[in-house]
Amino acid sequence: MPSKPSLILASSSRYRKELLSRLRLPFTAISPDVDETPQSGETPAALALRLSVAKAMAVAASHPGSIVIGSDQVATVDGQPIGKPGDFPRALAQLQALSGQIVEFHSALAVTDGQRVEKADIVTRCHFRKLSDRAIEAYLRAEEPYDTAGSAKAESLGIALMESIQSDDPTAIIGLPLIALTGMLARFGLDPLDAPGASA
């Protein structure tokens, strides 16, 4: 019986590593060397898709025979991108601006074997509650979400900032859409339910 190809996550994100671990497939994580500068006139959704493919292909080029996952996420309000705050003052200003607003998170995904590429953009719509400065400050001091676009970690206390979340995949908002990924991996011969660890 032929051995299955090795799986690589083209990311250094601990959130994506934790998510991929849920599928119980053995994998390694390699940080891709990709210029993430947006192209002229590029929409946030197109940027996320392009970067997810670029990350996967960059790692696949030096690891022939492997299946590589690339992912990128861009958050937008009214079509305009919002980034990672980096520190408390920027996060405070960001959440003040997002209070009562709808934020769209484009969680793009790509899987490649170096030849064929599958890709998808999973959109999550987060309606933020109207937030007082006191609530925002309490949240930021509790969670310090400075490395997260939109300054909110929906997988933990950040869920309390939300009025509603709409998505076809609850893991997409965290950064790696596992439902879409599972289908893609299966088509590349890596179905998590066929893995030895699936019955563990």
Grouping H, G, I as helix, E, B as strand and the rest as coil, residue 25 is coil
Q: How many CB atoms lie within 10 A of CB 60?
A: 25
Crossing angle of helices 88-98 and 133-143, in 10° steps, is: 130
- What is the phi/psi pair of residue 57, to 5°? -70, -35
CA angle 147, 68, 111 (to 5 degrees): 90
72 is catalytic: yes
Catalytic annotation, pick one of 35, 72, 169, 191: 72
| Percent helix / strand / coil, the chain, rounded to 5 | 35, 25, 40
Q: What is the DSSP secondary-structure string of 83-146?
A: ----SHHHHHHHHHHHTT-EEEEEEEEEEESSS-EEEEEEEEEEEEPP--HHHHHHHHHHH--T
Q: What is d(CA 146, CA 20) in angstroms, rounded to the nearest whole number? A: 22
Active-site positions read 72
